[in-house]
Structure 1
Amino acid sequence: MFELLSRPATEVAPLLLGAVVRVGDVAVRLTEVEAYLGEIDPGSHAFRGPGKRNAVMYGPAGHLYTYFTYGMHTCANVVCMPEGIASGILLRAGEVIEGADIAAARRTTSSKFSDLAQGPARLAVALGIRLDDAGTNLESGRVRLELPQSRAPFSAGPRTGVAGDGGSNEYPWRFWIPGEPSVSPYRPAVKRKRS
């Protein structure tokens, strides 16, 4: 698996559509992902180089990079590229295929089955992914990634909620399986007015 992942995130991301992420008794089939190309990508956490927060992104491919956002949500990424080069794939959304009762108990605000893991924070909650899962080996750790047997058809477009250049149409690095109800709606970044 690590050989497949040791390439740029923009090449690997579409290949992860249909992959299964498993944590204990809960499994989610990925229906939406976003690619981030490290120091050459203005939307990436590694755009300004290595630091304590993004250190896992510079590690070996096939590990989990987690981060905290908006002071309340954990999001999860698959690290790509060889060690020393930051690149990752945000796990944006998926369909719960095992452990729906557990996922629903974790996601008490979900109004329907299709939104249990619709969005990166919801996906992490449904699976039970925690901030301290950072660095987990996705072949042998608590969080596991099972690659799909065949390539899913996909669509591509700009990334959701990424501000500045990295969120423009020049970065069509969001990939999703068309027609899947678990795919999150596209939302451009909110531009804040300066006072």
Structure 2
Amino acid sequence: MFLTYLLLFFSFVSASSAVLADSPLPEGRFVLQRDTDHFGADLGPLFDTDMASCARACSGQQACVGFVFNSRSDACFPKSSMTESAPFEGAFSAQLIRAGKAEQRQAEQRAAQLTGLDPADFTAARQQAAGLGLRFPAGGATVEDLAAAAAEASPAVALRWIAEAVAISDRGDLWEAYARSLMRQEGKGTALRR
């Protein structure tokens, strides 16, 4: 009897992991700040690495809420908490915002309604959503200020500001503005527009 429950448990965990891996929504996203450090609460430093590896190391640890990457020494410091910050030139602080189960379920329901897209489209969208915050660090402006500035800027500058606003907020209306901004890019080829 116990063995039956154990097998059922592991099959449920395995199925849940497979669903999560195929979810259109990433498990989490990072909000990045330049030249900012958070001291203490290290989960274990990693040396001679890059920011993408640092993000993967943090994402893979349930206790990790973010990381600090020192670009001058290529060192990564996954954090169990990120409270007080201090200026530090060359440091990138990234807060991990994990998606909730309700958000995951809603994303899966919406994805099921989008019958015209293939799995590669969902994979690309998930990668875009997971990596946007690492490509567009927050500069201290509010989401509202970024959106207003983007409305008056040239297409290339608007794309940058809208991407930063999306990275901070993850708001649906800003994702739509970001997609429209990508569509307006000239000379970037069809891959960027896709």
TM-score range, shorter chain: under 0.3
TM-score, length-normalised on structure 2?
0.27
More strand by share: 1
Who wins on radius of gyration, i.e. which is larger?
Answer: 2
More helix by share: 2
